[in-house]
Structure 1
Amino acid sequence: MNIITFIRLASNKIISRAQWYDRYWGGVIKFWRANQFNLDCINLGSNSGLYGFDYTQVEGVQGANWALGPQSLIHDFNILKNYFSYLKKGGTVFIPICPFSCLVSEYSKESNLKYYTILHPATIIDFEESERIRALSIMHSPFKAMPLYCIKLSIKDAIHKVISSKNKCFDFAADANRMLTNWQKQFGITDLNTSLSPLHAEEQISRANTLHEMILFCRERELRPVVVLLPMHSALMQQFSDSFRQHYIYDFIQKANIGNTPFINGFEEKQYSDEDFSSSYLLNKHGAMKFTRQLCERFVDRAVN
């Protein structure tokens, strides 16, 4: 082995363990190493699911967090189709939704790149062979595929660790306003309190059909689906009026015809405080373990020793 090959291999090994590299892939690296079958439960979801579930301290439960961020319900469904066999018979599938899951989200090629490393080509939206080749190239040899980017992000992460302040006071109200502004811009919504536009109403029907199909998919395979709207900080929850909740959440659930599938309504979760959140929208590790433990106690059959 020559020195150049050694440096490249060593660099790839270091990069593969870096936090920025996991963020680059949106958390998909966990699927590259997935080898645990007979799971009691899993969760799907976007960022709220990614940061909202933590099974590490739930005794007697073998669970896996399959959420990726950002991600739509259709992507959730495709992951479930590819990996459902990792669950035991009767296993629980937590299906997180967010305040705007009923609408169609457009994702860039960069955001979709991760799916080429874990999904069958037939289940990848807008599949392109050139993107598959690019994804696998970065996956197997990140430093060779994008050396300048690797150096830049490694330095940026190192600097961030030095200057970050753990004691910095977080402004949940300001963050809630920022989240709402970004959502309204993303989906082209001017007034959150009015009925859905004709376009959004069509999207809601389409997404409701997707959720309904996911539930049927689970039942046909003797899995137990649970629809979950995760808790949010009070600063954000109070921004969502009764009108918004009806039009964007409850109408969506009704159109999905979930039947007797349990629905956990995060708007009704009142036992969470500042210490449970990393932002107005996302739970922190403490909050995630607390929330996951409560869900598992209600919906997961624990192993008997």
Structure 2
Amino acid sequence: MIKRIVFALPLLLNKLVKRTNWYKNQQLDKTNYPDNDWYRNHLERNYDVVNVGSSSGVYDFDYTGLDVKAFNWALQPQSLEYSFKVLKTYFSILKRKGIVIIPFSPFSGLSVTGKWAATAYDKYFTILDETMLDDYEAVRRRNLYPLLAHPKTALKRLLKDEPRITSSRNCNKCTTAQDFENDSQRWMKIWQNQFHIPDLDAPMSEENKLGAASRKKLLMEMIDFCLVRDLRPVLVLAPAHPSLSSKFTKKFRENYIYSFIRDANPHKALFLDYLDDSRFLDDKDFDNSFFLSVEGARKFTKIVLEDCSQQ
């Protein structure tokens, strides 16, 4: 009897852990991905547009109120590799000539391989096939048995749970000019440390050249994937608050952004550059120096779709 209790207790605790907000906050909203369950509950087909992308894609695209059928598949964070995997899994929801928005930030041309924790990919467990997940067994184990994977945190959250996250917008918001300036400096420090770039105007390092080459190849494959399936890939460089965009020099932009786009886009898919767009100079358009506010995102999304329809 005691042995049975000893063996059953961890399973019971694990089951309780999976009911916590802490565990649920790590899971993706499956209603945002048209899998078999989604199709059983929705008659919609032939979607107009989807976007992939990382953090900026989460904040910068909002299709609310627009006469368009769309999905925002950006995640925070999401590598270009996993953006492509999500697209390959769910692209069939799009109509012929449907738009695939591929957002870029100033450092999107550089590889993030090895710069994120392995657990960053655990969230894809419920939406991607196991053949697409790196180290699938480890991902599966962490998802199914959170108590074993994170015993201290799991037990802590059983005793005191965290609030349920109901929105992907969880950044610290800027309210003053100094807030925006401090935030822009923070972002620049993060990126320069992450990619080892002490001087923005210096030639790209050999390490970053190798990373950029692999990213170019991946983006080319992504564009080809869309074109072969009669979809419209659109590359988008979103607006940044002036406190941030002003820090990207002409030389940096050529070395890290524009040369990358040219080399990775021989088919000349539409490229829309809004980095310094004069329609986004008001602080109210931004949550911080890098992310658009809800109001700014809706305004921006409308502009992007209008520009896509005119070209």
Q: TM-score, normalised by structure 2?
A: 0.80
Query: Match for 2:258 among 243, 250, 254?
Result: 250
CA distance, structure 2, for counterparts of residue 209 and residue 181 of structure 1:
28
Percent sequence identity over aligned pairs? 37
CA 1:233–1:30 in structure 2 vs 1: closer, same or farther (change >3 Å)?
farther
Determine the structure 1 residue equivalent to 2:87.
80
Determine the structure 1 residue equivalent to 2:29.
29
* Residues 91-122 of structure 1, C-alpha deviations (whole Å, 9 max, x = no match): 10000111111111122122111122211122
* Residues 185-212 of structure 1, C-alpha deviations (whole Å, 9 max, x = no match): 1111111111101121121111011111
Query: Match for 1:95 among 102, 105, 108?
Result: 102
* Structure 2 residue ranges without an equivalent (≥5): 1-12, 166-171
* Structure 1 residue ranges without an equivalent (≥5): 1-6, 158-164
DSSP 3-state at the match of 1:154: coil
Query: Match for 2:223 among 204, 212, 215?
Result: 215
CA distance, structure 1, for counterparts of residue 309 and residue 73 of structure 2:
16
Q: Which amino acid is 2:29 matched to?
A: I
CA distance, structure 2, for counterparts of residue 130 and residue 155 of structure 1:
27
Determine the structure 1 residue equivalent to 2:168.
none
* Residues 236-272 of structure 1, C-alpha deviations (whole Å, 9 max, x = no match): 0000000100000011011103433111112241211
Q: Which amino acid is 2:86 matched to?
A: I
CA distance, structure 1, for counterparts of residue 159 and residue 32 of structure 2:
23
CA distance, structure 2, for counterparts of residue 167 and residue 101 of structure 1:
24
CA 1:192–1:136 in structure 2 vs 1: closer, same or farther (change >3 Å)?
same
CA distance, structure 2, for counterparts of residue 167 and residue 49 of structure 1:
19
Residue pairs, 1:80-229, within 5 angstroms: 80-105=87-112, 106-124=115-133, 126-137=134-145, 146-149=154-157, 152=160, 154=162, 169=176, 171-229=179-237
1:280 is displaced (CA, Å) by 0.3
CA root-mean-square deviation = 3.2
DSSP 3-state at the match of 1:92: strand
CA distance, structure 1, for counterparts of residue 226 and residue 188 of structure 2:
33
Q: Name which of structure 1's ranges 200-209 and 172-181 shifts more when overlaid on structure 2.
A: 200-209
Determine the structure 1 residue equivalent to 2:169.
none
Q: TM-score, normalised by structure 1?
A: 0.81
